[in-house]
Amino acid sequence: MKTGFALARLTVVGATFLAGVATLAETVGLQELDLSLMRQGWGQPQLNRSMREKPLTIAGRTFEHGVGTHAHSSLWVDLAGKGRHLSAFVGFDDSSNGPGSVQFRIIGDGKKLFESGVMKLRDAAVPVEVDLQGIKTLLLEVLDGGDGTSFDHADWAEARFDMAAGARPSAIPRPVPKEEFTILTPRPGPEPRVNGPLRYGCRPGHPFLYKIPTQGTRPMEFSATGLPASLTVDPTTGIVSGIAPARGEYQVEFRAKNGHGTSTRRFSIVSGDTLALTPPMGYNHWYAHYDRITDAMMRHAADVLVSSGMADVGYQYVNIDDCWMNAPKHGDPKRVGPLRDGSGNLIPNQHFPDMKGLTDFIHAKGLKAGTYTSPGPLTCGGFTGAWQHEAQDAKQFADWGFDFLKYDWCSYGDIAAKDKDPELVKFKKPYTLMGDLLKQSSRDVVFNLCQYGMGNVWEWGEAVGGHSWRTAGDLGFELDRFFEIAIRNAGYRAWSKPGAWNDPDYVQIGWIGSANGMGRPKPCDMTPGEQYAFMSLWCLSAAPIFYSGDMATLDEFTLGILCNPEVIDIDQDPLGQGGRVVQLSDTTFLMVKDLQDGGKAVGLCNRGQFPARVSVAWKELGISGQASVRDLWRRSSVGTFEGSYAADVGRHSVTLVKVGGSGR
């Protein structure tokens, strides 16, 4: 005797009535809940219609009521233990007309109550009948079916909750269990520890600059054996400088000594054609300061990179992102002005009065400087791009002293639209042009392609001169999907190798800025577990590690995550392997990275909403017998295990271990 659903209404539950005790009950349609709390990957939830604002239609069957949403979608519902039953029809909406796939899942108090399987366009609607007795909190989810979220228009049709009399379900914000901000990384001791990559690429005859990343109390005395004659090390600062030697591989040993001890580290200088033999590491201003960036902020970032200890574990680049040039129009008058001078030279805006002075400041610390532009007439932020000035700008960047260039597609889309060449040719064209110019540059310039993965950039990014390439759009817009982004990025691992890196975007932990131009940076939305997970996954992926949070509010917790030398060693491993995803389930998976010393870095990953036990079998790692397990975050040995290892991993978290291997 169920009634309509447009409004909650009182009804009599038949079975109870027949038993002689009439019990009143509420029936509430999903569309009546506060859907502003539904999170989804694209657009807004639609009431009683599809994402394309058409009637909800699954494989030709039309439904009057329900919610149209888009993967990944989640809605938390408080039932207070007063729910009885949930019924619905779910499916892929006909109006999407795309190649996507979705998966519906219902979780009650941590237990899976319903799972639709992967559903595609024109799959018949799947009926949902779920017993809600005793359930306090329900989670309605739409996942991407394993192929990304494009075209994933999903319908919860005729979804209705039968509740006990007088009770109503209510949508609630994502309940984030309170987690302690536990610092796992032990504080560095007073004794020296030389860190940093074991292999380093440079081009013969170019300026060479490398600060030996070393933890421990200063003053410290630095020395090096095996250094080519064209290079010297400053014994006080540990900055190696000079001119890159003739082609060849030079085996160097760095040594750092203070009153507490001595540390050494192998360092192989490979002078040839390839730069970035390990993933570049540093700072990028974008997610902290967007279009508010100034010369003073960049100098401050360089200062903090050193004073915070980040440079002591290998962060080297201090990179300006967009908005340092003039724009035809902008809210800040100091960023508006002539785009180029009479000779076509770029004019930085008034917040950047002395570019050479800025790079000199950064270089004096032994660090490197990076900049940004677009192959189009304007950058993504609407500032001057390099279009038709590519050679002049490349020379200008080298003259100013830059060591890194991010080249961001953006308005080049308008140029490409008029180009009649095949799509792939159009994608490659601007990057080939700049890549060739940078190869001829008088400096070593690391080249970062930013075009969001178009045309499978990982397949050709290296051939056009790139050292890294963004594999997707801006992570800042979908930060709560970082697990999925990391899994997708791992799909391109075959192309990850020394000098050629998949770039899933910047590290956004700690304090992060706001894109809309208002206010100071704020603590990010990620839980502590998520922040550990983020850094673990990026290091397992051999991703470039650019911190893009606020350098003025770096706290001990954030620094603990950014500055664990054993975790960074995983990222910087000279083999350059990207981690592979093993045992992928809807909540847990492993990410496994082969290391040069024969060891395996393993992330035991839980992207589910509840703690889970995750295990790795040695056969999944290609090893057998006994193997040592080291907890990389705590930097301590866990023990020796036979055949497998398992850990309880918190909600949205990763336990990062190293299995086997000979060590440092």
Query: Residues in contact with ligand GLA, total (CB under 6 A)?
Result: 9
Calculate the CA 602 to chain-centre distance: 18
Residue with Cβ nearer ligand GLA (109 or 474): 474
H helical segments located in 235-311: 286-289, 295-307
Select from 408, 566, 569, 573 the one that contacts ligand GLA (CB under 6 A): 408
Question: What span, in angstroms and rounded, lies between the C-alpha atoms of 109 and 270?
Answer: 55
Task: Give, as ranges, the residues between 255 and 314 that touch ligand GLA (CB under 6 A).
Answer: 286
Residue keyed to tokens 């490197």 = 368
Task: Based on the shown chain and the rule CB under 6 A, indicate whether residue 474 belongs to the binding site for ligand GLA.
Answer: yes
Task: Based on the shown chain and the rule CB under 6 A, indicate whether residue 320 belongs to the binding site for ligand GLA.
Answer: no
Residue with Cβ nearer ligand GLA (74 or 319): 319
| Nearest C-alpha neighbor of 115 from the set 127, 106, 125 | 106
366-385 footprint of ligand GLA as x/- string (CB under 6 A): -------------xxx----
CB of 291 to ligand GLA, least distance (A): 8
Task: Based on the shown chain and the rule CB under 6 A, indicate whether residue 325 belongs to the binding site for ligand GLA.
Answer: no
Please identify which of the residues 109, 436, 474, 586 carries the catalytic annotation.
474
Residue with Cβ nearer ligand GLA (108 or 279): 279
Residue with Cβ nearer ligand GLA (76 or 324): 324
CB 524 within 8 A of CB 511: yes
CB of 321 to ligand GLA, least distance (A): 5
Question: What span, in angstroms and rounded, lies between the C-alpha atoms of 399 and 419?
Answer: 32
CB of 431 to ligand GLA, least distance (A): 15
Tokens of 178: 């309170």
556 burial via Cβ count (<10 Å: 0-12, 13-18, 19+): exposed
Task: Based on the shown chain and the rule CB under 6 A, indicate whether residue 322 belongs to the binding site for ligand GLA.
Answer: yes
DSSP secondary structure of 165-183: TT---EEE-----------
Please identify which of the residues 155, 312, 408, 550 carries the catalytic annotation.
408
Q: Is 458 helix (H, G, I), strand (E, B) or coil?
A: helix
Select from 79, 90, 154, 450 the one that contacts ligand GLA (CB under 6 A): 450
Question: What span, in angstroms and rounded, lies between the C-alpha atoms of 208 and 234?
Answer: 13
Residue with Cβ nearer ligand GLA (449 or 554): 449
CB of 335 to ligand GLA, least distance (A): 13
Question: What span, in angstroms and rounded, lies between the C-alpha atoms of 566 and 585?
Answer: 28
Residue with Cβ nearer ligand GLA (471 or 609): 471
Residue keyed to tokens 């140029």 = 415
Across the strands, what pairs with 534? none
CB of 371 to ligand GLA, least distance (A): 11
What residues contact residue 362 under an 8 Å CB cut-off, 6+ apart? 298, 299, 302, 318, 368, 369
Select from 93, 144, 295, 321 the one that contacts ligand GLA (CB under 6 A): 321
Clarify whether 474 is annotated catalytic.
yes
CB of 505 to ligand GLA, least distance (A): 7
The angle at the Cα of 497, spanning 491 to 503, to the nearest 5 degrees, equals 55
Question: What span, in angstroms and rounded, lies between the C-alpha atoms of 359 and 295?
Answer: 10
- Neighbour count for residue 482 (Cβ, 10 Å): 22
CB of 470 to ligand GLA, least distance (A): 6
Clarify whether 408 is annotated catalytic.
yes
Catalytic residue annotation: 408, 474
Binding site for ligand GLA (CB under 6 A): 286, 321-322, 379-381, 408, 450, 474
